Amino acid sequence: MKIKIDKNIYLIKNKDKSMGRKIILTGLILMLSVTLTGCISFGKKETAAGSGVGAVATGDRGDTWVAKYKLMTPGAIEANIGGVNVTTIEMDPTDTNAIYMGTRGNGLYYSYNGGDGWDHADVLSKVAAGQINSISIDAKDKCSVYAAVTNRVVKTSDCNRTWQQVFNTAKADEAVVDVVVDWFNTSIVYAAAKDGSVYQSANAGASWAKLADVEQEIKELEISSKDSRVLFMTTVAAGLYKSTDGGKSWLSMNERMESLGGKYRNGYAVAVSKNNPGKVFYLSRLGLLQSFDNGETWSKIALLTGENEATFNALDVSVKDDNLIFLVSGSTLYRTVNGGQTWETRKLPSTAILTDLDVHLANDKLLFVGFSAPQK
């Protein structure tokens, strides 16, 4: 799905951008952390969380966590990448062992063995240094990967051997906050800029055109799992937008939510159901909303907290069962297995800022989250 980095609350929603953007991991589960080095259990006896940054994963929906952060090095040299500030984690939809991880100041790392070991994309850092806001993988060609780095989009077509810049915004401070590959026609790539501009390439990044400008700060794009011409966009202060023509025009969903209150304009994240096309989830200051008709009408999903009692900054929904929903507020993970009728909470293993939340595609007991320290 891929929440991008939220410059206000340091949120990245690693969205499932294609029909399958999660990775099937077998065996051990991934976790990266500067302070967590073993199995940490949060069952009936929850222990205090540390302040480590990095990325963590759980194989039981948040009860226990396992650490892995080995850096692949030549010879017998031992090294790890514990302590990196993670901005996004992306799972390859075609290779069950490939994982990509973007960071704030350490470039991009990738693993081809399900997280047992990581390599650094040195060539990418030479082409475009800076914060990686988003990663998107071609669903039909696992060697084609796009990354949004500051105000640029870079691409590899040969599985990280070489990278080249394929797009940049006009201004250096106009960050590209999201890059998304169309799952149906993977020659189509979208780039969303922080200032509200939406760009498109129809030839796999060779050339780009500006499609629209919503004149609002964009947080993320999400492509419908039913029709890839339908896109949803969350904004920081203007709520949710929808496009039915591949990003050329955008319609605000505000009028459809007015009866629910005004706080829906502060958008946090959007998720589309993969097993129930037309069902959309929208997380805002108002709480969690759902639509069963692609955004035409909306209703609230009851939460454990009242309005304004908690600021939720991450959302993801199981690809297999959209009744399984995860939310994050601060260092607390909220989960429901029945579409919001009841909720449970679990403490996350770090009090650092959560920047990514991702439910595994094939096994929804696996959950990946990323952490980062506040920007100074």
Per-residue confidence (pLDDT) for residue 59, from 0 to 100: 85
34 found inside a domain: no
CB 200 within 8 A of CB 249: no
Whose CA is closest to 247, among 284, 285, 209?
A: 209
90 found inside a domain: yes
120 found inside a domain: yes
β 164-168/152-156 pair status? antiparallel
Structure tokens at 116: 């047992």
Q: Total domain count for the chain? A: 1
Range of the domain at 219: 40-372
Per-residue confidence (pLDDT) for residue 297, from 0 to 100: 93
Per-residue confidence (pLDDT) for residue 22, from 0 to 100: 37
Q: What is the pTM of this model?
A: 0.83
Name the stretches of the chain with pLDDT < 50.
Answer: 1-48
Residues in the chain: 376
Per-residue confidence (pLDDT) for residue 34, from 0 to 100: 34
b/e code 200-226 from CB counts within 10 Å (16+ = b) = bbeebbeebeebbebebbbbbbbbbbe
Q: How far apart are CA 199 and CA 190, in angstroms?
A: 6
Whose CA is closest to 270, among 223, 322, 202?
A: 223
Q: How far apart are CA 290 and CA 185, in angstroms?
A: 28
CB 42 within 8 A of CB 333: no
- Strand, coil or helix: 89: strand
19 found inside a domain: no
Average pLDDT, the chain: 83
- Strand, coil or helix: 259: helix
Whose CA is closest to 107, among 98, 118, 93?
A: 118
CB 97 within 8 A of CB 114: yes
151 found inside a domain: yes
| CATH number, domain with residue 251 | 2.130.10.10
CB 85 within 8 A of CB 60: no
Per-residue confidence (pLDDT) for residue 50, from 0 to 100: 59
Angle at the Cα of 134 (from 14 to 231), degrees rounded to 5? 70
Residue with tokens 């081809």: 112
Whose CA is closest to 64, among 95, 37, 38, 39?
A: 39
Cα 36 to Cα 49, 59, 142: the distances in Å are 9, 16, 31
Burial of residue 23, with CB atoms counted within 10 A of its CB: 0-12 exposed, 13-18 middle, 19 or more buried = buried
Per-residue confidence (pLDDT) for residue 248, from 0 to 100: 98
